[in-house]
Amino acid sequence: MIHLSAPHAPLLGVNIDHVATLRNARGGAYPDPVAAAVLAVEAGADIVTFHLREDRRHIKDDDVQRLKAALHVPLNFEAAVTDEMLTIIERVRPEHVCLVPERRLEITTEGGLDVAGQLGRIRAACQRLQAAGCRVSLFIGADPAQIEASADCGAPCVELHTGAFANAWGARNIQDMHTELTRLKQGLKHARSLGLRTHAGHGLALWSEAASQPFASSTAQIAALPDVAELHIGHALIGHAVFVGLRQAVADFQAEAVRARRPA
């Protein structure tokens, strides 16, 4: 695994949802997200992430069972805070769970979970999942109130939503990039001060031709933050794999994280 050469590099969680999206676009069994997950692990992925949505638009219930049977690395089960999903998670008992907001009409997760606004409900969910042996993370924005509420819920981890930073990066809006990166740095530091393990993800990507770009990739800039223990990346990694293959795509994202953590 590439990351072993830089022990402080963040762990890489590879989200395989959009392999299932491609399969479901035509029906049938190909391409198989479980086969993709196995290949990603063989290429060095530390964690396999997936989101079982209410509408089953990509990952399906059978995929979850097959992933659990096929993999020896931790599964990171992303789910909304609903009784249906909590019951499924209690049955599957994945190693990791990330509770996320979910709206039926959204294309992708648009923001962080409002932990502060539903503290009792999320605290109860955390307790249920911890009783099932799952490590719980809450997917939130870099907002002090949400970070403090997450700690109050008893969740050991938070994953900070990097979508606004990734969008600014994609637009090459350096001012907004700086603003969002500062918010993320402060949020990570605040969460760590409360004893939370800190992760990051959403929208992170690579430049296709790094030498011609004026600044580092969004993945590198987030990976360089020393408080990021895990990166969870899906859409851009699977998109990159269309051109270079999944093994190389995993290697490329891991190498980017390693380079970002090396001393200057």
Side chain identity, residue 93: R
Least confident of 11-15, 148-152, 213-217: 213-217
Q: What is the mean pLDDT of residues 208-218?
A: 72
What CATH number is attached to the domain comprising 60?
A: 3.20.20.70
75-79 and 157-161 strand pairing: unpaired
Q: What is the pLDDT of residue 8?
A: 76
In sequence order, what are the residues at sequence separation of 6 or more whose Cβ sits closer than 8 angstroms to the Cβ of residue 174?
215
In sequence order, what are the residues at sequence separation of 6 or more whose Cβ sits closer than 8 angstroms to the Cβ of residue 242?
none
Distance CA 242, CA 245 (A): 6
Q: Beta partners for 15?
A: 49
- Answer for the pair 48, 65: CB distance below 8 angstroms, yes or no: no
Q: 95 is in which domain, residue-wise?
A: 2-261
Distance CA 225, CA 92 (A): 33
Q: How many domains is the chain built from?
A: 1
Q: Sorting pLDDT into bands at 50, 70 and 90, what band is 5?
A: very low
What is the per-residue pLDDT across 62-106, written as a single tens digit (0 to 9) for each?
A: 999 999 999 999 999 999 999 999 999 999 999 999 999 866 555
pTM: 0.91
In sequence order, what are the residues at sequence separation of 6 or more whose Cβ sits closer than 8 angstroms to the Cβ of residue 233?
12, 13, 14, 15, 201, 204, 219, 253
Q: Which residue has tokens 């293959």?
A: 245
Q: Kindly state the DSSP code that residue 57 receives in the 8-state scheme.
A: S
What is the per-residue pLDDT across 97-138, written as a single tens digit (0 to 9) for each?
A: 999 986 655 545 566 899 999 999 999 999 999 999 999 999
Distance CA 25, CA 22 (A): 5
Which residues does the annotation mark as catalytic?
51, 78, 202
Q: Which residue has tokens 């993945």?
A: 219
